[in-house]
Amino acid sequence: MSAVAARRTTVEPGSRDARGRLAVMVTRLLEHWKLTATEQAEVLGLSAASRSTLARYRSGEPLADSRDLLDRAGHLLGIHKSLRLLFPHDRDLAYRWMTQPNRRFGARPVDLVIEHGFEGLLAVRRYLDFQRGQ
């Protein structure tokens, strides 16, 4: 394959195709976490009334080309990766963790994200990254 052909088959990270695959991955993850539609929208930084947007994302419509939304999606997938590494033999716990009360946060991790937005998302991710490092 020529270098030109190889470049054509590579997907740019911010491309419409990549954002479509990311939309499906993130919405599936939020469903595995058993978040309500309102919680899903809030975690993604969307208005609580964005059910139609979530449905479009679930069907593969690309995430909006928004730095905030794409960063949130990346951090959510990072949280998922950390949970899978922390609980390799308990997939159910890895999926329940975000919605279980956590003594460290004094609330469910998802509530921290909803209440504090992007900063809450970063706090949860940093906490899990720290736990993985021990």
Mean pLDDT on 120-134? 94
- For the chain, the domains span 3-133
Check pLDDT > 50 for residue 107.
yes
Angle between the N-to-C axes of helices 118-133 and 67-86, in degrees from 0 to 180, rounded to the nearest 10: 30
pLDDT of residue 13: 61
pLDDT tens across 71-96, in order? 999 999 999 999 999 999 999 999 99
Q: Element (H or E) spanning 39, and its range?
A: helix 37-43
pLDDT of residue 5: 47
pLDDT tens across 15-70, in order? 999 999 999 999 999 999 999 999 999 999 998 767 789 999 999 999 999 999 99
Check pLDDT > 50 for residue 121.
yes
CA 52 vs CA 5, 18, 62, 111: distances in Å: 37, 21, 13, 22
Check pLDDT > 60 for residue 4.
no
Report the distance separating Cα 96 and Cα 103, nearest Å: 15
Check pLDDT > 50 for residue 1.
no
- For residue 117, what pLDDT band results from cuts at 50, 70 and 90? very high
Report the distance separating Cα 111 and Cα 56, nearest Å: 24
- For residue 134, what pLDDT band results from cuts at 50, 70 and 90? low
In terms of Cα–Cα distance, which of 67, 91, 77, 57 is closest to 125?
77
Higher pLDDT, 5 or 85: 85
- Three-state DSSP class for 107? strand
